[in-house]
Amino acid sequence: MRLATFNIASGLSKANELDKKLAKQDDPQLLKIAAIIQKTRPDILLLNEFDFNPEIDQAALLQRNYLAYGQSGEKAIEYPYHWSGAVNTGINSGLDLDNNGKTSGPADAWGFGFFPGQYGMQVLSRYPIDKNQIRSFQKLRWTSMPHALKPVDPETGKAWYPQATWIQLRLSSKSHWDIPITVENTTLHFLVMHPTPPVFDGPEDRNGRRNHDEIRLFADYIDPQLSTWIIDDQGQSGGLQESSLFVIAGDLNADPADGDSSYKAIDQLTQHPRINASCVPQSKGAVHDNQQQAGMNLSHQGNPAADTGKFNPKYVGNLRLDYLLPARQVTVKDCGVFWPAPGQSGAEWIDASDHHLVWMDISL
């Protein structure tokens, strides 16, 4: 069984813009995304930055207008099951979250965004999704996390957020979902998220700290001893049992060695005793691009073959941000990143997104 996570960079600038593209059959970006999905053929797939609209069955449009047709010589693929839900991006909080004296900007939303649903998530599956047992953590408050990394003004030593604001803040910048999927009479918990980038802030590091604690939410969730504080949007408390099978998936915006990640955020998962992080997805395309782009890449400490995203070499360079992290009980057979080097099959599609699809073959 193959799992995949793919940030398709379709968090577009206007509401309903993605819906218009999905309603057609000739959008250049979506044609390439469909070709990549058909080439890699995951059985369960998370799409990050897929704008959410509760009024339209967007997954059905993607299936009918793009995936149902073989793209660029690939075979059509069908996902009978899908799920998406509300996210915090673009929902105005009514609070001044960036301390600029205003309460109506995109940074004042519960998660940065210009309209509700921007940068949403979509899960596609060839296996049945137990929709009645899905748990979402969209509204979980940051202050409910024990020993949360509360942002502090380094000059004054005081809390960056006023207390009246802090106690209302939501932890998840989009949402965190536990999606149970039935695979041959076995339940696999597909744990998906898309934490905020640890940048676009100041010396208080509010986004870096939030990124760390968003990642920590699932690190605690898979540990019965640490998950008692967690309450989902339906009011149920606690996390997974020791025996539960899971895979954590998403663009986690946290490189293990490079970039602006705070407090070794991703180590909370890659070094977690319940997680098997031994298979590090890699690609030849990432190595080639690292050499071609140079810039910040020359000072990076991490293995360039493991990078999953291509960013401005002048300021950031390429990073490993996208992950599939299975439970130790899950058998991992292979893994990789769809980032072909020039001349390899599919190289003409990779400009569809600044991220690249990460895949992993497992058995339960």
Q: What is the pLDDT of residue 23?
A: 97
Question: Would the pLDDT of 11 be above 80?
Answer: no
Say how many domains are in the chain: 1
Shortest CA distance to 311 belongs to which of 329, 296, 324? Answer: 296
Q: What is the pTM of this model?
A: 0.97
CATH code for position 64: 3.60.10.10
What are the angstrom distances between the C-alpha of 2 and each of 24, 126, 300, 334, 335?
A: 28, 10, 30, 9, 9
Once rounded to an integer, what is the mean pLDDT over residues 284-312?
96
Q: What is the pLDDT of residue 319?
A: 98
Q: What are phi and psi of 362, to 5 degrees?
A: -135, 165
Give the whole-angstrom CA distance, residue 59 versus residue 126.
13
pLDDT category, 268, cuts 50, 70, 90? very high
Q: What is the pLDDT of residue 10?
A: 79
Q: What is the pLDDT of residue 19?
A: 96
Supply the range of the domain harboring residue 265: 2-363
Burial of 102 (0-12, 13-18, 19+ CB in 10 A): exposed
Once rounded to an integer, what is the mean pLDDT over residues 145-168?
96
77-94 pLDDT per residue, tens: 999 999 999 999 999 999
